[in-house]
Chain A
Amino acid sequence: MNGIHDMGGMDGFGQVQPQDSEAFHELWEKQIFVANRLVRTESLNEGRLSESMNPVEYLSWGYFGRSLHSLERKALRTGLVTEEELKNPEGRLARVEGFPVIRAEEVEARFRTRRGSRIQVEVPPKFQVGNRVIVKNEHPRGHTRCPRYFRGRQGQVQRDRGVWPFPDRVAHGLGDKLQHCYSVRFAATELWGSRADPKDRVYADLFEDYLEAAT
């Protein structure tokens, strides 16, 4: 989606204002963090749909506000709540039949179970280190992990990062389409034109589906 969330290269946001080093400032932020962590059973990209937010909300709700939005979307998609119930949550707790339940005493163990997303499965890679690749000019309507500012640009494969579930599918619950992800290096001038220093480089981790061979 060509949304507000895809900010790479945009001007006008001003300088980053460093905050304190606290991860959470309000109780609800902790609750949302825990809830999102618990409903995510596989890849980090499950339910990553905050780009579907209204742009003004996206910019003003903050990190945990965006997590809340993703959680609501997942709850709606799975039928755990209806739109009406989200607006009027009174007496809402009744319907849990058919849904997996996690009890408070199980939460800590769940958090301690760490699992990365990388998959130990042999999938033939399309590209090798050193290959020159061009990022496809595709404009997916849904979730993608390819920032707009790379589209159409040529880079060189630096490393094969292994096999992963494909975020563009996983975020919408469409299976995982396992594929290689590559670290691709770009000249800064390739991305930003003459405003960039010719010495500088930008690296991105890009999935195989985003790339085609440069001729």
Chain B
Amino acid sequence: MTLEEDVEVHVWDSTADLRYLVIPERPQGTEGMTEDELAALVTRDSMVGVEKLKPFKSETEV
């Protein structure tokens, strides 16, 4: 994954008994989606923070 130069990276090392997950950045093209539709887009790697969710293109777009 390549990030832009101006992006600040914050790393969370779960050293104690707390566990963390990342709320992924909402991908482009998802405006108007329901919660269930959005949840279906989330991946394991995006919740770890090592993947950005790709912009969403619906099947009807040309």
Do the two shown chains form a genuine complex with each other? yes
Query: A43 with B13: in contact, given A21-B44, A199-B8, A201-B8 (CB under 8 Å)?
Result: no
Question: Residue on A with the closest CB to B6?
Answer: A199
CB distance B16 to A197 under 8 Å? no
- Decide: A203 and B12 in contact? CB cutoff 8 A: yes
Interface contact B15-A204, CB-CB below 8 Å:
yes
Whether a CB of chain A sits under 8 angstroms from the CB of B60 is no
Chain B interface helix/strand/loop/mixed = loop
Within B1-26, the residues touching A (CB, 8 Å) are: 7-18
Chain A hits for B17, CB < 8 A: 43-45, 116-118, 164, 167, 205
B18 adjacent to A201 (CB under 8 Å): no
Known contacts: A18-B45, A21-B44. The answer to whether A201 contacts B10 by CB under 8 A is yes
The reply to whether the CB of A5 lies closer than 8 angstroms to some CB of chain B is no
With a cutoff of 8 Å between Cβ atoms, the chain A residues found around residue B9 in the complex are 188, 197, 199-201
Q: How far is the CA of A167 from the CA of B15 in the complex (A)?
A: 11
Chain A residues near B8 (CB, 8 Å)? Answer: 199-201
Chain A residues, CB < 8 A from B11? 188, 200-203
**A18-B16 Cα distance, complex, nearest whole Å:** 24
The secondary structure that dominates the A interface is loop
Sorting the interface of chain A by its residue count into under 10, 10 to 19, 20 to 34 or 35 or more gives: 20 to 34
- Measured in the bound complex, the distance between the Cα atoms of B44 and A116 in whole Å is 24
Q: Which of B7, B18, B45 contacts A205 (CB 8 A)?
A: B18
Is B44 a contact of A206 with CB atoms below 8 Å?
Answer: no
Interface residue ranges of A73-129 to B (CB < 8 Å): 116-118
What residues of chain B lie closer than 8 Å to A203, measured between beta carbons?
10-13
Residue numbers in B under 8 Å from A202 (CB-CB): 10-13
Whether A146 and B15, one on each chain, are in contact in the complex, defined by CB atoms closer than 8 angstroms, is: yes
5 other contacts beyond A116-B17, A202-B13, with CB at 8 A cut-off?
A: A8-B13, A146-B15, A200-B10, A201-B8, A201-B10
A sample of 28 cross-chain residue pairs with beta-carbon separation below 8 angstroms, ordered by A number, consists of A8-B13, A18-B45, A44-B17, A116-B17, A117-B17, A147-B15, A164-B16, A164-B17, A167-B16, A167-B17, A181-B16, A181-B18, A199-B7, A199-B8, A199-B9, A200-B8, A200-B11, A201-B8, A201-B9, A201-B10, A202-B10, A202-B11, A202-B12, A202-B13, A203-B12, A203-B13, A205-B13, A205-B16
Measuring CB to CB, which residues of chain A are less than 8 angstroms from any residue of chain B?
8, 18, 21, 43-45, 116-118, 145-147, 161, 164, 167, 181, 188, 197, 199-207
